[in-house]
Structure 1
Amino acid sequence: MAKRRVLDRIPVVHQLRQSVGLQRGMLVAGLVLTALFLVFAIFAPWIAPYSYNQLRDAQGNFGSTQPPSAEHWLGTTVGGYDVLSRTIWGAQTAILVVIVALILSVVVGILLGLVSGYLGGWVDRTLVVIADAIYAFPTLLLAIVVAIAISGGQSGLWPGIMAAAVSITVVFIPQYFRVVRAEVVRIKAEAFVESAKVIGAPTSRIMFVHVLRNATRTLPLIVTLNASEAIATLAALGFLGFGIEPSAAAEWGYDLQRSISDVAAGIWWTAIPPGVAIVLTILGMTLIGEGLNDLADPRLRARRRATNQTPADAVAASQPASREFMGEVE
């Protein structure tokens, strides 16, 4: 029993226990696809047969657009790179961009939403106008403009990662800002906040201890969905030529763009692997986000309880809940 309680505290495990039917299938499928993506990203140096920028081995050059063979399972690109290796290494580039982008956007978005919602006044009005203006701007166009302003186009690994991450961050900040601000505006009128003010608690303590902890409960859902959107934005930047140079890192969008002319010539093996990698990774994270979003619906939890409860539980469920159960003090 104690072990089960410890496992239930892990967010994904807790939601997995709550899920039923289609929701559980979506969540499990998303977890499997995302786990594969993380394994490839973390262990790319050991899984990939070659480096992302390797053009030759002991036998000589790999050759351009070589078909799949025993030496190159997915063939080689027009530039002479091993397709399988660049596809695996591309997961590492994607995860680095996603981590940096989400950390920056979550921290900045939460802080701005907390300050705007709690202080109100001209600060709130100014931040809301700025956030709405950014949110109304086309996402990809804004990312392109920021990427050009930071790196001037293609760049090395970390400059390219930071350029892509910052461009994605600018797009994501208004989302976290709006969600957190709305929650803060609602929470700051609650009784426990008023009680903290009465006893003389500092404003900073009320904001960061009492309000912030209760205003970020829905953020894991947004983070999961934004992770998939970050990968799509990164791939779009690379596809349009504003990503990372191929000699500095492997990037799925760039490899997909370079393979367009190959497909017209009947060379299919250079386009399918990066395209499938993008689709499966985005699909996995989206399924997790949608599964968690469905589990946030109280009607689903009610259906799950209804399928597992005994007749005695059904009778008890029909009785009004006590004030203690609702978290109130009698």
Structure 2
Amino acid sequence: MTHLDTALDTALDTAHAPPRFHALRRFARAFAQRPSGLAGLGILLAFGLLALCAPLFIGDDQLDVVKVDGPLLAAPSGDYLLGTDQAGRSILLMTIWGARSSLAIGIIATLLTVLLGSAIGLLAGHYQGRIGKALMHVTDWFIALPSLPLAISLSAVIGQGSASITIAIAVTSWTGTARLIRAQTLAVEARPFIERAKALGASDAQVMLRHVLPNVAPLILVSSTLTVASAILSQATLTFLGLGDPISVSWGSMLNAALAQGAVSAGDWWWLLPPGVAILIVVLGFTLTGRAVEHVLNPRMVSGS
């Protein structure tokens, strides 16, 4: 086979490839040209891999305060790279295991937030009459409420645990996504192809799901990547305040236990720094990834930067 035949076959394969494949490939190429986005994605992959593989090398006897037999409040050493807590548990293993709870709650809360905010934004943007005004009044009412006290109140009312924290974060974080999607929905529905679709008899559901939603999907993706960072911070804050599962190990619960045991006054820095630094790095990873995705999907931002 000659080089001309090979080139012709490649061109034919490319021509028959679906448009979404071309868009995905263009997105991957543009994203790969942003070092900050690749760094953030690398951070997230590293923490995600550690969280998934943690049960393979961390057993219950290493996290259970009854079964563990390590030295109490030992400073970092060769045996315990990040020291131990008041029960003799390894801070390094607890930090790795805490990624599972913190990332899981942050991601699930973000999914609920994006689903709720996107649905309300689409409905408020499409139905611009009484329904849209009522939805925006509800959104403005939630924006006026302080998010942290509201999340604390919801967690206390629903009950202590990971599920209550996830619901509290979702209920108090959807307003920004709703207003963003509503604004984009209004812009999309002002385009001529929406008028043509309505003239051809498209129903409201078809207009929103087939025509508007694909056009606002990139904005939903950007919003979700940036919302995860704030969700993880909210999860750490609520668990630090003692509203999480008292049995589960998370970064917020580690900081709560360190404060309760007087690690600050005792100078046990190795108990405080690892969970705090882990939160900082993961939030930075999501922020860098989200900003890179935003730059790739928003040409006006790329040209202005």
TM-score range, shorter chain: 0.7 to 0.9
| SS of residue in 2 equivalent to 1:259 | helix
* Counterparts in 2 of 1:25 and 1:51: CA distance versus 1, 3 Å: farther
In the other structure, the counterpart of 1:105 is: 113
| SS of residue in 2 equivalent to 1:212 | helix
In the other structure, the counterpart of 1:257 is: 256
Q: Distance in 1 between matches of 2:218 and 2:46?
A: 27
Q: Distance in 1 between matches of 2:204 and 2:299?
A: 33
Alignment of 1:81-160 (within 5 A): 81-151=89-159, 154=160, 160=161
Matched positions, count: 287
* Counterparts in 2 of 1:7 and 1:121: CA distance versus 1, 3 Å: closer
In the other structure, the counterpart of 2:165 is: 164
| SS of residue in 1 equivalent to 2:124 | helix
What are the superposed Cα offsets for residues 75-111 of structure 1, whole Å, 9 maximum, x if unpaired?
A: 2212333211110111100121022212211222211
Say yes or no: does 1:53 pair with 2:63.
yes
* Counterparts in 2 of 1:276 and 1:12: CA distance versus 1, 3 Å: farther
Structure 1 residue 284 displacement after superposition: 1.0
What are the superposed Cα offsets for residues 183-237 of structure 1, whole Å, 9 maximum, x if unpaired?
A: 2222222211111111112221112111221122212221111101111001111
* Counterparts in 2 of 1:129 and 1:244: CA distance versus 1, 3 Å: same
* Larger helix fraction of residues: 2
Check the 8 A contact 2:122/2:185 in 1, yes or no. yes
Q: Distance in 2 between matches of 1:174 and 1:198?
A: 32
Show structure 1 runs of 4+ deviating over 6 A. none
* Counterparts in 2 of 1:134 and 1:79: CA distance versus 1, 3 Å: farther
Q: Distance in 2 between matches of 1:184 and 1:8?
A: 21
In the other structure, the counterpart of 1:44 is: 54
Aligned residue type for 1:259 = A
Instruction: Tell me how large the CA RMSD over aligned residues is.
Output: 2.6
Structure 1 residue 56 displacement after superposition: 5.9
| SS of residue in 2 equivalent to 1:231 | helix
What are the superposed Cα offsets for residues 96-137 of structure 1, whole Å, 9 maximum, x if unpaired?
A: 102221221122221111112111211111111111121222
Q: Distance in 2 between matches of 1:55 and 1:254?
A: 14
Range with bigger deviation, 42-51 or 99-108: 42-51
Structure 1 residue 257 displacement after superposition: 2.5
In the other structure, the counterpart of 1:14 is: 29
Check the 8 A contact 1:83/1:273 in 2, yes or no. yes
Structure 1 residue 11 displacement after superposition: 7.9
In the other structure, the counterpart of 1:80 is: 88
Check the 8 A contact 1:42/1:92 in 2, yes or no. yes
Say yes or no: does 1:25 pair with 2:35.
yes
Q: Structure 2, unaligned stretches of length 5 or more?
A: 1-9
Alignment of 1:307-322 (within 5 A): none
* Counterparts in 2 of 1:7 and 1:285: CA distance versus 1, 3 Å: farther
Q: Distance in 1 between matches of 2:205 and 2:126?
A: 10
Q: Distance in 1 between matches of 2:88 and 2:147?
A: 34
In the other structure, the counterpart of 1:206 is: 207
Check the 8 A contact 2:106/2:232 in 1, yes or no. yes
Q: Distance in 1 between matches of 2:301 and 2:121?
A: 30
In the other structure, the counterpart of 1:314 is: none
Aligned residue type for 1:178 = R
Q: Distance in 1 between matches of 2:256 and 2:242?
A: 8
* Counterparts in 2 of 1:52 and 1:90: CA distance versus 1, 3 Å: farther
Check the 8 A contact 1:55/1:62 in 2, yes or no. no
Overall identity of the aligned pairs, in %: 31
Q: Distance in 2 between matches of 1:303 and 1:273?
A: 38
In the other structure, the counterpart of 2:193 is: 192
Check the 8 A contact 1:50/1:85 in 2, yes or no. no
What are the superposed Cα offsets for residues 27-77 of structure 1, whole Å, 9 maximum, x if unpaired?
A: 1221121111111211111244766632366xx722431223444332221
* Counterparts in 2 of 1:11 and 1:90: CA distance versus 1, 3 Å: farther
* Counterparts in 2 of 1:52 and 1:163: CA distance versus 1, 3 Å: farther
Check the 8 A contact 1:164/1:243 in 2, yes or no. yes
